[in-house]
Every structure is written in C-alpha cells, then in structure tokens.
Amino acid sequence: MRILLAEDETHAGEYLVKGLGENGLVVDWLRNGLDVVHQVGVTEYDLVILDVGLPGLDGWGVIKRIRQQHGMPVLFLTARDRVEDRVRGLELGADDYLIKPFAFSELLARIHVLLRRGMQQERDTITLGDLQLQLLRRRVERAGKRIDLTAKEYALLLLFLCRQGEVLSRTVIAEQVWDMNFDSDTNVVEVAIRRLRAKIDEPFDTPLLHTVRGFGYVLESRP
C-alpha cells in the first residue's frame, strides 16, 4: 500500500514515515501543497494524509484540487481542532479527520479502515490458491496454517498478491516495497524473496512464487 504524506513539520514527518514504514506501508513525504497536487496526478496512491497548514497551497486548497480528478481516501491530520474546521474538511471531501496530538495506534487503525473501505468488499481478503492474506487483520495463512511475516515481507507479499500473475522486475519491487531506486549492487530484493519463499512455499507441496529468469518474479498458481 502506498501513501502520500503531506506534512511540512520535519519532526512529525520523520515520525510518521518511520512508523508507517514499520507497519508495511510505503510512504512518499511532501511538504508543499502544490507538490502534493502534482504528485497525485502522476502516481497512484491508496491514501493521502493531509495537513492543513502547508506552504504553497494549504490543505483546503489541496483537497479541492484532488477531488476534481481523484477519488482516493484522504485523511486530514492537523492541529486545527475547531468544529468548524472538522466540518469544513469533511465537507470538502475528506474521508476522516484526526486532530494533533494523536495516538499513533489510532492513526494506524483509521488508516486501515480507510484502506479497507477503498477496496471492494471481496478484496478484504486476497487469495491465491490456498494462500490467503487478510488485510484488516494483517494475517497470512496457507492451507489453514498461520504464517508470521515481517513488515517488509508482508508488504512484498501484498504487492505480489495485488499483481498476481504479473512478472515484477527487481526495479519495480524495490520501488514499491522499499521506496528506493534500484541499485544493482544490492541484493536486498533477492534476500527478501528468499525469506518470503521460505515461509510461504517451502513448507508446502506447491510453490507459488516463481523466478522468471532475466525478468523478475511472479506469484501465480501453476498446474
């Protein structure tokens, strides 16, 4: 899941990027409202977390521009605590409104609700064969057996499940899961693939995660 964070305060931005990343979410962080409007036009996001007091274009202006063309969930995260502000944010098209200071656990719970709501009902659980990922509970099972994954392994599996049957290059995987440009000198993708295979494939009879030599990797059920 990819989130765009619009936050101009350095400490708050760093805290959110770290916390959300530790929970398996890829976060792009921008500090200027005009940059946010541009970015949602060129990149597909599952959620936007939006502060009101942004330079360039404030959060009210940003959501007006976003709602002209995009329907992704928007959560206001702001110190503006007046009832009038909350009403204004929701009337402009926000899906939720959380006031600073906030408990991170509450923010994460609200994010999960919005992400779940943004998907079709049948996407609450993503399956491939006997492999099952429950989005809300962040639970992975295969053949009824629970599989414990790290945050990055979970994000990697979620990417493959959302694009099952599609060959994903190491570059795409690195960008989507680690939010980094691919560096041919690093083997972070190969290591993560190996660890994921050890958990979702090796204990079972039928492998699902396959290497396509020269191209990348694909998650699919083969006869």
Is the model's pLDDT at 120 over the cut of 60?
A: no
CATH of the domain at 187: 1.10.10.10
Of 118, 134, 160, the one marking the end of a domain is 118
Lowest mean pLDDT among 13-27, 28-42, 121-135, 182-196: 121-135
pLDDT of 91-101, one tens digit each?
898 999 999 99
Q: Is 45 in the same domain as 149?
A: no
Whole domain around residue 192: which residue ranges? Answer: 125-219
Q: Is 98 in the same domain as 37?
A: yes
Query: Who has greater pLDDT, 172 or 29?
Result: 29
Q: Is 109 in the same domain as 60?
A: yes
Percentage of residues in the chain with pLDDT exceeding 90?
61
Q: What is the mean pLDDT of residues 28-52?
A: 92
Q: Is 145 in the same domain as 61?
A: no
Contacts of 61 (CB under 8 A, 6+ apart): 33
Q: Alpha-carbon distance 151 to 22, whole Å?
A: 6
Query: pTM here?
Result: 0.60
Nearest to 201 by CA among 209, 192, 193: 209
Of 118, 149, 173, the one marking the end of a domain is 118
Q: Is 15 in the same domain as 83?
A: yes
Alpha helices by DSSP H, listed for the chain, are: 10-22, 33-42, 59-67, 83-91, 104-118, 151-162, 170-178, 188-200
CATH of the domain at 104: 3.40.50.2300
Nearest to 7 by CA among 78, 106, 84: 78
Query: Who has greater pLDDT, 117 or 194?
Result: 194
Q: Is 110 in the same domain as 17?
A: yes
Classify 171 as helix, strand or coil.
helix
Of 118, 143, 165, the one marking the end of a domain is 118
What is residue 1's predicted lDDT score, i.e. its pLDDT?
Answer: 79
Q: Are 48 and 72 in contact (CB under 8 A)?
A: yes
Q: Is 76 in the same domain as 21?
A: yes
pLDDT band at 8 (very low <50, low <70, confident <90, very high): very high
